[in-house]
Amino acid sequence: MTAGRTLPPVTATPPEDLRYRVALHRVHRLGSARFALIERAFPSFEAMWRAGASALAGAGLDERTAQELLRAR
């Protein structure tokens, strides 16, 4: 670690949410930028996973990516 540099806090994932986080990371087209969009919009990874197309679009996902997530379920 570089002197004087602090690392950002690690966000802990509750154990019951971990399986949804892993599943979401496996969705094609859901890279870090899109993941960050929906992470800010939903209270949990489970809520992201269970969201409908309109909720995903409201969170900022394009239709193609939202459809990929829905297909991945």
Is residue 57 exposed (0-12), middle (13-18) or buried (19+ Cβ within 10 Å)? middle
Over residues 28-43, mean pLDDT: 91
pTM over cut 0.95: no
pLDDT at position 2, please? 53
Residue appearing with tokens 């919009």? 41
CB 59 within 8 A of CB 36: no
Distance CA 14, CA 58 (A): 25
